[in-house]
Structure 1
Amino acid sequence: MTSANRMNNAPSLLLALAIAAVWLPPLRLGARLKLPLSLPLAAAALAAGAQAGLLDVRALGAAALLAVLAAASRAVHRPMPRRVLAGSALALAFALGLHLVPGFSPIVVVDGVQVSPNAAPLRFTVSLDAGLAALVIALCFCRRCRTPAQAGETLRRAAPVALGTAALVLGLAWAAGVVRPDVKWPAFAAAWLLKMLLWTCVLEEGFFRGVVQERLAAWAPIARRPALAALPVIVAAGLFGAAHGPGGAGYAALATLAGLGYGWAYARTRRLEAAIAAHFTLNAAHFIGFTYPMLQR
């Protein structure tokens, strides 16, 4: 591995560790002071990214602003300022997730590789902006498991929904001619699946289920009416499907159906890990076992 490759890999690896560290106990710096392990790891990722030329001053400024807004939203107790700060942090995280904030250069892992017959060539990149968004949303705005026992119970309850959602969505995609069976394990498969888990699944489930669905479910006009219990799942799934609209109407419909499954897994547990598990199960099965990303028309 060349020194240039090591410099480009270091920021993404550090940020991957930072996202994973969301689920680790915080560092104790005193009797009352605790520091999430994700924060020094994220700072190290940003420093490595700047050194490698992947970030400029605009990107560093956006990252600093996101950290300040998220931290302030948790420190302020008055409802209205807290909502404004949280809304601002989430809006900035959403913009980062969509790569709308300038100053970030993606790390290109592979480009123009066709992993399935009759499928479009694949471009595999890792973007620090989306990773930062995933980290902040999961760390500051989502309900997560706090103990191994809670995580085990959450995943146990999510497993039937995750497997059923994957089987249904991929079966319909196969029947519709969007994909067909294609078992494979390309050289970059492990890196791709890691990125899918820590970037895509954490970011998308953190936003659509951990934020949108959770806030709708807790909203008094819905929370007080059991007949509306399914509405947050449906709304979040609809927004999730719309976000996949650029792939075409059929792809958006399949994404909406998948979103209903992810939302159901979340509703059964009210924990982010359930939705992440359902999302990752489908995406991993799709990548390993079927045409990826889809058959060309």
Structure 2
Amino acid sequence: MTFFLSLLPAIWPWLILIAAQVTALVGHWAVALSLLVLFASIASATGLMSLLAIAAVVGGLAGAALLPHLKGRLAVAGHALLILWCLAMGAHLLPGFQNLKVLDQVQTGAASTGFTMHLNLDKPMVFFAVLLAWPGMLQSTIQTKFGPLVAGLLLLPGLFLLGLAVGAIQPEFSVPRWWLVFVLSNLFLTCLTEEAFFRGYLQSAVISRLGAVGGVIAASLLFGLAHFGGGPALVVFASILGLACGLGYYATQRLWVPVAMHFGFNLVHLLLFTYPGPA
């Protein structure tokens, strides 16, 4: 907590962004957009976002809001553009965003490698865009399919066992002093955003065209490929994690389920194993 309080003078604008995410998640769009405008105004005034960055966000969100009203080839083209925009934001390719580095080569324990973490400004905007483009992801009325849900949940401990077997992780219990800022960043800026994009939006869109099996597999593989910067092994592990979360979302159609699975996996990894890997 002391570490978090020491960061508060620098990171408080992100608390407004997280509040905007939460209010959008529960369907209070007027409040969410008001908070998002407030956040963007503060980010602009403090130099965290340039006018070019704000223009990129406004353009992406405006285009996403139009997508549910488009039909045919125009809709296909619009969704393709949105996916490219989301990938560019998630990969930090667009200029003008000053993502704040809050952890720099810290270690959770003696056996762990150094870990660096930024509080992102660009990537969380993907969450708002895909909610606007695919609002149905928050409107589930289906009965839970317990078979796929159990299969997805079982993949999570199986992934830890695989990591131990191949030496990608080692047991190491730790509660780093920066755990709270990790929780806030990983849960909202990472897991919520990634699950909204890969499961709530992308998986749902592919399922509507190719069916459940094709949608879950495609979204899982794309989630894995999004981690290619960490090497081939990380692509494989991320694909399996994506499959687990994909099954969780397919089984329930409730976004909080894959978010909880993704975040729970990351938190267990942080607390019980070398993070992100052995030294």
TM range (shorter): 0.7 to 0.9
Q: 1:253 aligns with which of 228, 233, 236?
A: 236
Give a deviation string over 1:70-124, Cα, whole Å, max 9, x none: 12223x3444434433432332122111100000011121212111323221112
Deviation of 1:42 after TM superposition, in Å, equals 1.0
Instruction: Return the letter of the residue paired with 1:264.
Output: L
Give a deviation string over 1:239-258, Cα, whole Å, max 9, x none: 22222222222222121211
CA contact (8 A) 1:73 1:83 kept: no
Residue identity (%): 26
Look up the match of 2:188.
Answer: 198
- Provide the secondary structure at the position in 1 that maps to 2:97: coil
Give a deviation string over 1:190-247, Cα, whole Å, max 9, x none: 221221111211222222222222112111xx34xxxxx4222222212222222222
Cα distance change on mapping 1:77 and 1:135 into 2, 3 Å: closer
Look up the match of 1:272.
Answer: 255
Instruction: Return the letter of the residue paired with 2:121.
Output: L
- The answer to which of 128-137 and 159-168 deviates more is 159-168
Deviation of 1:126 after TM superposition, in Å, equals 0.5
Deviation of 1:53 after TM superposition, in Å, equals 1.2
Q: 2:59 aligns with which of 62, 65, 71?
A: 65
- Provide the secondary structure at the position in 2 that maps to 1:173: helix
Provide the rounded CA distance (Å) in 2 between the counterparts of 1:260 and 1:66: 28
| TM-score, structure 2 as length reference | 0.87
Look up the match of 1:291.
Answer: 274
- The answer to which of 155-164 and 241-250 deviates more is 155-164
Instruction: Return the letter of the residue paired with 1:188.
Output: W
CA contact (8 A) 1:162 1:281 kept: no
Aligned residues, how many?
275
- Provide the secondary structure at the position in 2 that maps to 1:110: strand
Look up the match of 1:13.
Answer: 15
Look up the match of 2:32.
Answer: 38
- Provide the secondary structure at the position in 2 that maps to 1:129: coil
Look up the match of 2:225.
Answer: 242
| TM-score, structure 1 as length reference | 0.83
Please say if 1:282 is aligned against 2:265.
Answer: yes
Provide the rounded CA distance (Å) in 1 between the counterparts of 2:192 and 2:147: 19
Provide the rounded CA distance (Å) in 1 between the counterparts of 2:147 and 2:256: 11
Deviation of 1:146 after TM superposition, in Å, equals 4.6
Gaps of 5+ in 1: 27-34, 224-228
